[in-house]
Structures are given as structure tokens and as C-alpha cells.
């Protein structure tokens, strides 16, 4: 069985689509198909990969209009349909080349919202119930799938689901003492309340972090200048 791929090439100023055919192998992922094209057909084909195990988040691309981890998405169901599958870089990000996007904006936003634990010293016991609660947020692998599928990202100054999902963890984690300050930044500079609650980020997150659900939880922290959740 053959898999037909139509791959977006070039960058934001020069775009074309190239078509490739790959022989489907058992357990084959889209990342493997791209590797085979690069090895056997076109060594200039550019895409990102690292862990190949759904952990690092670097291999996310758009497959038939939906962001997916290419190292996890199996080609077989698509090949069985017999139709051409369109591979494109993630939406909402500048393209460096072919399927590789520039994610440096992510670093800037993460610095702005200070998405790391702050003020931690000594022993802190995290009860199992709380650990479970913050687990979802901590599972984010920064693959950018949610950011690329969020319609509100077209609005300038909306930080996006990735950052707000990360922020949730810092508000709940007892080892952190800057959560409320970050929430203030998220509301005032990241426009948290501009979330459309459309759940598109929930639907595409490969780790089931459910950013839109966490954003709705964040919105219940109404007393951002005071002592936290009411
Ligand atoms: Fe790491 Fe796909 S290569 S998540």
C-alpha cells in the first residue's frame, strides 16, 4: 500500500507543494515517512524531530489541517483512505523552512509569564490529590499544537493556551510563591479573558492537558490582588 503525501515547502515568502509517495510499513508514523523521503528522495526536506517517542514535542506539524505529533500519528488509517495527505507547518508561526517553524516567540512569552517555579526552599509535601490536580498542566510538552490551532491567536497580544495551561500549575503548586503575580500578568498583558472557550486546544493537545478547561479554572481566581482563589 502506498501513502501519498503533499508537503508544503519553502518559507513564508516562497511557497510550493511537492508530492511524494511512500510504501507503507507496519507501525509507520508520519515522522518515519518524512525520514524515508529525506533519506531516499529529497535530502533537502526540512522538519524537526528529536525523541521520536511523543515526549519532546518538537515534531508537531499540521496533518490534513490538524496539528499532530508526527512521531505518534500512524499513517495506516490515512493510507487506507487512498487520498493524498497534506502536510504543512504549524499555523500561527513563522516558517523557517518546509515543516520547521520558528518557536522563539514561545521563549519570549515564557519569560514574560515566568513559567518556572519560584521561591522554592526547604521541604514541601505535595499531597497526592494536589499532585494529581497539577499533573495535567505539568504534562505539557510545549509542542505548540494548541497555539497553532487557537483562533484567538490571530489577535495580537493574546498569550495563548500553552502559557495559561502552564500558569495553572504555578497557582496550585505550594512550592511556588509568584503564581498570583503571574496571573496578573496573564490577565493584563496576556489577555487571559479573551479566550473564546471554543475548546479547539483541548481537542488537539496530544497529552490531554486540556488548556481550555484549565483557562476556565484560572478565571475562577477572581481576587488576583489578594490571597488567591475564593
Ligand atoms: Fe519528540 Fe515527536 S520527536 S515528540
Choose which residue among 29, 32, 33, 51 to substitute to test ligand 1 binding: the one with the highest number of ligand atoms within 8 A of its C-beta: 51
* Below-50 pLDDT ranges, the chain: 226-230
Rounded to whole angstroms, what are the CA distances from 7 to 10, 14, 24, 34, 113? Answer: 10, 14, 17, 10, 35
SS3 139: coil
Q: What is the pLDDT of residue 224?
A: 54
Domains and CATH numbers, the chain: 2-101 (3.10.20.30), 104-219 (1.10.1060.10)
Q: What is the pLDDT of residue 60?
A: 98
Q: What is the pLDDT of residue 116?
A: 84
Choose which residue among 34, 35, 56, 63 to substitute to test ligand 1 binding: the one with the highest number of ligand atoms within 8 A of its C-beta: 56
81/207 Cα distance (integer angstroms): 26
Nearest residue (by CA) to ligand 1, atom 4, is 54
Q: What is the pLDDT of residue 156?
A: 82
Residues near 144 by Cβ (< 8 Å), separated by ≥ 6? 57, 60, 67, 90, 93, 101, 103, 106, 162
Q: What is the pLDDT of residue 228?
A: 45
Q: What is the pLDDT of residue 170?
A: 85
Amino acid at each position: 500500500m502506498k501513502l501519498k503525501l503533499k508537503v508544503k515547502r519553502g518559507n513564508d515568502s516562497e511557497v510550493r507543494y511537492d508530492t511524494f509517495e511512500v510504501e507503507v510499513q507496519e507501525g509507520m508514523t508520519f515522522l518515519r515517512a518524512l525520514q524515508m523521503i529525506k533519506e531516499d528522495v529529497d535530502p533537502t526536506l526540512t522538519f524537526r524531530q528529536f525523541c521520536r517517542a511523543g515526549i519532546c514535542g518538537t515534531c508537531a506539524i499540521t496533518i490534513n489541517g490538524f496539528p499532530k505529533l508526527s512521531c505518534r500519528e500512524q499513517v495506516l488509517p490515512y493510507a487506507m483512505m487512498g487520498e493524498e495527505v497534506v502536510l504543512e507547518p504549524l499555523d500561527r508561526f513563522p516558517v523557517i523552512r518546509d515543516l520547521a517553524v520558528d518557536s522563539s516567540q514561545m521563549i519570549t512569552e515564557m519569560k514574560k509569564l515566568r513559567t518556572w517555579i519560584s521561591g522554592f526552599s526547604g521541604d514541601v509535601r505535595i499531597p497526592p490529590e494536589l499532585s494529581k490536580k497539577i499533573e495535567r498542566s505539568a504534562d505539557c510538552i510545549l509542542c505548540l499544537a494548541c497555539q497553532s490551532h487557537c483562533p484567538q491567536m490571530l489577535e495580537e497580544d493574546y498569550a495563548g493556551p500553552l502559557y495559561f495551561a502552564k500558569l495553572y500549575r504555578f497557582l496550585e503548586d505550594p512550592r511556588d510563591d509568584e503564581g498570583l503575580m503571574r496571573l496578573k500578568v496573564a490577565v493584563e498583558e496576556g489577555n487571559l479573558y479573551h479566550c473564546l472557550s471554543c475548546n479547539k486546544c483541548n481537542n488537539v493537545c496530544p497529552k490531554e492537558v486540556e488548556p481550555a478547561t484549565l483557562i476556565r479554572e484560572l478565571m475562577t481566581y477572581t481576587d488576583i490582588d489578594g490571597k488567591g482563589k475564593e
